[in-house]
């Protein structure tokens, strides 16, 4: 029995899996996940506990950037193993009292899930016993408009997340989908993108002979320009 429980704690969806479904009470009412978000990207993220400083800094930053994520067709949903009234009191304290990194009077408007039972946290593998048996680690799940998990990032309790990277990853995945390309290390909109390696000797030879569109370092490593304005026009809502 102990081994089965251990497996349940560590179970988590993988990239390419459908996001596990759940219904939950949140600070914005009940949600049915991911059904309520069909057609939109979602960042589902967990934090260890309410009324903790690193989590407070993260929630203020997410709330400050919420409109930016919304313009990229992405909703935010938070979670911790705390009760609804604790969530409400914490978010009110953030708005009324906390200043951080030039931000103040920050109102968190996206849903924060109550998960005292740990049901959702266990479904998503957010409980890591080696780190804590009673707190969720800082997990981030990117879920696409079809309800499919597209990327997963995990951080330990002590490490606050990099929000520039979360946004960059979101835009990069959308650009990959829209333009059928891959994005290289440190890619930002406007940078060159990577096209799939040649699938035959003929295509490889053709690419190495030179084209106006492609820049090839070798037959397997070819890039092309992708205009920044085009990327942002196709991804960001007006």
Q: Which of 5-14, 136-145, 152-161, 209-218 has the lowest mean pLDDT?
A: 5-14
Q: What band does 53 get if pLDDT is binned at 50, 70 and 90?
A: very high
Q: How many domains does the chain have?
A: 2
CA 90-24-11 angle, to 5 degrees, is 100
Residue 129 belongs to domain with CATH number: 3.40.30.10
Residues 150 and 190 in one domain: no
Q: Among residues of the chain, what percentage have pLDDT more than 70?
A: 88
Residues 10 and 80 in one domain: yes
Give pLDDT tens digits for 76-107.
Answer: 999 998 999 999 999 999 999 999 999 999 99
**Is the confidence at residue 62, as pLDDT, over 90?**
yes
pLDDT at 196: 79
Single out the catalytic residue among 55, 74, 216, 222: 55
To 10 degrees, what angle do helices 53-71 and 84-97 make?
80
pLDDT at 1: 42
The whole-angstrom separation of Cα 189 and Cα 226 is 8
pLDDT at 128: 80
- Domain of 98 in residue numbering reads as 2-161
pLDDT at 219: 79
Average pLDDT over the chain, rounded to an integer: 90
Residues 95 and 186 in one domain: no
Residues 230 and 129 in one domain: no
The whole-angstrom separation of Cα 131 and Cα 221 is 40
DSSP string, 9-70: HH----TTSBPPPEEEEEBTEEEEETGGGTTSEEEEEE-S-TT-HHHHHHHHHHHHHHHHHH
**Is the confidence at residue 34, as pLDDT, over 70?**
yes
Residues 23 and 126 in one domain: yes
DSSP 8-class letter at 197:
P
Mean pLDDT value of segment 133-150 = 90
Residue closest to 79 by CA, chosen among 110, 57, 104: 110
The whole-angstrom separation of Cα 55 and Cα 58 is 5
Residues 126 and 210 in one domain: no
Q: Show the tokens assigned to 189.
A: 């909109």
Residues 34 and 151 in one domain: yes
Residue 173 lies in a domain: no
Residues 24 and 80 in one domain: yes
Mean pLDDT value of segment 131-155 = 90
Residue 175 lies in a domain: no
Domain stop point among 126, 161, 196: 161
3-state secondary structure of 77: strand
Q: What band does 7 get if pLDDT is binned at 50, 70 and 90?
A: very low
Q: Is 138 annotated as a binding residue?
A: yes
Domain stop point among 161, 188, 215: 161
Residue 186 belongs to domain with CATH number: 3.30.1020.10
Residues 107 and 215 in one domain: no
Residues 124 and 43 in one domain: yes
Q: Show the tokens assigned to 40.
A: 């939109």
Residue 132 lies in a domain: yes
Q: Please confirm, yes or no, whether 74 is among the known catalytic residues.
A: no
């Amino acid at each position: 029995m102990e081994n089965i429980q251990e497996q349940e704690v560590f179970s988590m969806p993988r990239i390419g899996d459908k996001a596990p479904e759940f219904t939950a009470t949140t600070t914005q009412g009940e949600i049915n996940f991911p059904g309520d978000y069909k057609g939109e990207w979602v960042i589902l993220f967990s934090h260890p506990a309410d009324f903790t400083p690193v989590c407070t800094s993260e929630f203020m930053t997410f709330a400050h950037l919420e409109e930016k994520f919304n313009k990229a067709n992405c909703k935010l949903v938070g979670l911790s193993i705390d009760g609804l009234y604790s969530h409400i009191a914490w978010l009110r304290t953030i708005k009324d009292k906390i200043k951080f990194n030039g931000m103040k009077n920050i109102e968190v408007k996206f849903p924060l899930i109550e998960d005292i039972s740990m049901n959702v946290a266990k479904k998503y593998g957010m409980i890591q016993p080696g780190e804590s048996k009673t707190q969720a680690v800082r997990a981030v799940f990117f879920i696409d408009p079809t309800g499919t998990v597209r990327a997963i990032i995990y951080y330990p309790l002590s490490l606050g997340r990099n929000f520039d990277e979360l946004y960059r990853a979101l835009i990069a995945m959308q650009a990959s989908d829209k333009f059928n390309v891959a994005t290289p290390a440190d890619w930002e909109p406007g940078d060159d993108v990577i096209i799939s390696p040649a699938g035959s000797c003929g295509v490889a030879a053709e690419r190495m002979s030179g084209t106006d569109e492609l820049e090839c370092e070798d037959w397997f490593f070819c890039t092309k320009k992708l205009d920044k304005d085009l990327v942002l026009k196709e991804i960001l809502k007006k």
